[in-house]
């Protein structure tokens, strides 16, 4: 959804700030709220690149981003500008995984981040297939929820360690770090 559950903002922002990033890749940036929050807390020396396939979301929050890529969906990292030297310090996938057609497509997107990000912050609804979540934005075909991510699925990503899990009332916020 273009706007995350308000209870996710604190854990996501805390996880990013703890890593003191120089650059952040925000995949599925929606309205751009995380770009605004990151700018407010980390200043303008930070590079923030967003990926968002739904063009009508172009709103004032997008001004917080150094670059926005709209033709990289499904996630094609070759279309995303690098922050200078890869990898990005942090990639965000906030309320994104459940929008992939299935577990295999989501795994391909997450696994494509190998060499692109040092850490990945993920958030997803505990019940992504709940009827009232599945079609919050009927004018946006990318908002359909197709499958349910799980902690076990995240923990089995071969190139990352699941290092933090925040269980919120309706969602999880998880941090994965690249295996070195």
pTM of the model: 0.87
Residue 33 per-residue DSSP state: H
pLDDT tens per residue across span 91-139:
999 988 887 878 898 888 888 887 889 999 999 988 776 655 545 566 7
CA separation for the pair 128, 148 (Å, rounded) = 6
The tokens for 106 are: 């989501």
Q: How many CB atoms lie within 10 A of CB 112?
A: 15
Summarize the confidence of residues 29-56 as an average pLDDT: 88
CB 79 within 8 A of CB 71: yes
Q: Cα 64–24–34 angle (5° rounding)?
A: 45
Name the token pair of 22.
Answer: 């120089």
CATH, range 6-178: 3.40.50.150
Burial degree of 24 (CB within 10 A; 0-12, 13-18, 19+): buried
Does the bond joining 143 to the residue before it have cis omega, within 30 degrees of 0? no
């Amino acid at each position: 959804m273009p706007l995350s559950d308000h209870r996710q903002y604190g854990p996501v922002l805390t996880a990013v700030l703890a890593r003191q990033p120089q650059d952040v890749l925000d995949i599925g940036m929606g309205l751009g709220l995380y770009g605004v929050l990151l700018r407010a807390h980390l200043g303008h020396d930070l590079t923030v690149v967003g990926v968002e396939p739904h063009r009508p979301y172009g709103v004032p929050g997008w001004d917080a981003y150094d670059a926005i890529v709209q033709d990289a969906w499904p996630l094609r990292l070759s279309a995303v500008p690098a922050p200078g030297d890869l990898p990005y310090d942090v990639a965000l996938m906030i309320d994104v995984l459940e929008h992939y057609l299935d577990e295999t497509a989501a795994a391909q997107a997450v696994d494509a981040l190998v060499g692109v990000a040092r850490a990945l912050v993920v958030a997803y609804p505990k019940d992504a297939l709940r009827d009232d979540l599945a079609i919050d934005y009927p004018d946006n075909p990318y908002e359909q929820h197709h499958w349910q991510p799980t902690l076990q699925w995240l923990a089995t990503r071969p190139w990352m360690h699941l290092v933090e899990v925040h269980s919120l009332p309706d969602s999880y916020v998880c941090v994965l770090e690249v295996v070195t």
